[in-house]
Amino acid sequence: MPDTPTADIGVELRDVVKKFGEVAAVDHVSLAVRNKEFFAMLGPSGCGKTTCLRMIAGFERPTSGEVYINGEAQGATPPFERNVNTVFQSYALFPHMTVAQNVAFGLEMRGVAAPEVKRRVGEALELVRLPHLASRYPKQMSGGQQQRVALARALVNRPQVLLLDEPLGALDQKLRKEMQLELKSLQTQVGITFVFVTHDQEEALTMSDRICVMSQGHALQVGTPVEIYERPNCRFVADFIGETNFIDGTVSAVNGDFATLKTAAGMPVTGRIGGGPDARPTVGANATVSVRPEKITLAEKAPESGVNAHEVRVFSVGYVGSDTRVVVKLGDANIDVWEQNSVSTLDPNYFFRPGETAWLTFKPENALVLTS
């Protein structure tokens, strides 16, 4: 990302720290959001996502470091002078105003002439498909409708950046899925940069152009959904996004892009070296191989290539329709294996049974060696 041209950067955090008392809620975070990008901030509860968003909006000031919007350092610029708008998790609609008045508020504050306010409010409500509810009060509407009003109220100002703090968090599962699609197509339509906070990884993966994974105030990795899933740069990201198996050991050989570990039981495991250019493992160091359940295959007989092939005992078998989720014992460790059910069969012998022995294999290029 360092080679991204600056002209294309909409929002940037440079070495931002935010402390509440002694605790650093955000700890030396640097990240750059490109213009018109759908950018997700993903991480467990309390990792500092909201705090980052609030610093961009201007509700909080960084303890140190700086927030840039459009290349300009924001310093103490108050929220009402920043060209960003927020969709609050609680929506924060004004209860004493109708939907139309809520949406008009931002335009009125910026001194837009009345006829234009009316026109743009109409357009914005059209955009979120609520023009028929313009004269309702917020509490007369469902959660999903309120959510769309909050969106219209922010979008009507045509901000450069729209900040969304878990905007779908209060909706039920079905509505949530619908709104994800709607939000994504809306973003493409209006061409505004979205910074989207969520702790739902599936939401982040399906909607975003790029994702920033956070933990305990640190921005661990920024990348596309595929990069984040296929090339996690550390153990936390590999673990947090999707499911994975970790096989711990000490590095016994390094060979180009690949490294081999020996587990405590002496089994060799080889994988692609992950974690970025400055994270090359050295022989003798502790490391972990991360391999995702769907990248492992189970066979009844020993495979021809001996690399990453181990005899294991089947521990449990769970049939979930699209695939069968098998847990096998490699030494003491439980390894999850997801076998896709690509054959339509009723034959019980097609599936493994607990207690059987099997051979587990995965290709070194489908596994990652992580040192941190």
Partner 1 sequence: MMQRFRERPGLRLFSLMLPGGFWLIVFFLIPLAVIGAISFMGRDDLGSPTLPWTTDAYAQAFDPIYLQLFLFSMWLSLLTTLATLIIAMPVALFIARMPKKWRNLMIFLVMIPFWTNFLVRTYALLFLLRANGPMNNILMGVGLIQEPISLLSTPFAVWVGLVYGNLPFMILPLYSSLEKFDWTLIEAANDLGANTVKAFFRVMLPLTAPGLLAGSILTFVPAVGSYITVELMGGGKTTMIGRVIATQFGTAGNWPLGSAMSLILMVIVTLAAVLYFRAGRGERMAL
Ligand X SMILES: Nc1ncnc2c1ncn2[C@@H]1O[C@H](COP(=O)(O)OP(=O)(O)OP(=O)(O)O)[C@@H](O)[C@H]1O
**Cα 182 from Cα 107, distance rounded (Å):** 24
Q: Look at residues 181, 175, 134, 169 and name the one whose alpha carbon lies nearest to residue 153.
A: 134
What tokens appear for 263 in the block?
A: 């587990």
Mask for 69-108, x = binds ligand X (CB under 6 A): ----------------------------------------
> How far apart, in Å, are the Cα atoms of 254 and each of 119, 186, 197, 371?
65, 48, 39, 13
Contacts to ligand X from residues 172-211, by CB under 6 A: 199
Q: Around Cβ 51, how many Cβ atoms within 10 Å?
A: 21
Q: In terms of C-beta density within 10 A (0-12 exposed, 13-18 middle, 19 or more buried), how is residue 68 classed? A: middle
Nearer to ligand X, 29 or 291 (CB): 29
Residue from the set 11, 13, 25, 211 that interacts with ligand X by CB under 6 A: 25
Contact present, 331 and 235 (Cβ < 8 Å): no
Sole window of 44-52, 271-279, 282-290, 337-345 interacting with ligand X (rule: CB under 6 A):
44-52
Contact present, 241 and 258 (Cβ < 8 Å): no
> Which residue is listed with tokens 């509810």?
133
Residue from the set 20, 59, 315, 319 that interacts with ligand X by CB under 6 A: 20
Residue from the set 37, 50, 208, 312 that interacts with Mg ion by CB under 5 A: 50
Q: What minimum distance in Å lies between the beta carbon of 255 and partner 1?
A: 54
Q: Does 46 bind ligand X (CB under 6 A)?
A: yes
Q: Does 215 bind Mg ion (CB under 5 A)?
A: no
What tokens appear for 119 in the block?
A: 């026109």
Residue from the set 11, 13, 47, 222 that interacts with ligand X by CB under 6 A: 47
Q: Does 49 bind ligand X (CB under 6 A)?
A: yes
Q: Does 150 bind ligand X (CB under 6 A)?
A: no
Residue from the set 59, 315, 319, 350 that interacts with partner 1 by CB under 8 A: 59
Q: Does 282 bind partner 1 (CB under 8 A)?
A: no
What tokens appear for 329 in the block?
A: 């014992």
Chain residues that interact with ligand X, rule: CB under 6 A = 20, 25, 43, 45-51, 199
